Amino acid sequence: MAKANYSFQKRQKELAKKKKKEEKKQRKLEKQKDPAEEKKDVFLQED
């Protein structure tokens, strides 16, 4: 019987965590950026 490759599973888990963290970081940056852009749009529309 073949032995389980735990190092591969560990690496995959680490990559998944890293990807999820990066996606969360991007969402957070977009969320911070959006209110500033919305305010700009409001000022432009008023003119």
In Å, how far from its chain's centre is CA 37?
A: 20
Q: Where are the domains of the chain?
A: 20-47
DSSP 20-46: HHHHHHHHHHHHHHHHHHHHHHHHHHH
Higher pLDDT pick, 2 / 30: 30
- The residue whose two tokens read 């735990």 is 6
State mean pLDDT over 1-10: 86
Q: What is the rounded distance in angstroms from the CA atom of residue 34 to the CA atom of residue 47?
A: 21
Tens-place pLDDT, residues 11-47: 999 999 999 999 999 999 988 887 656 566 556 565 4
pLDDT value for 32:
86
pLDDT value for 5:
83
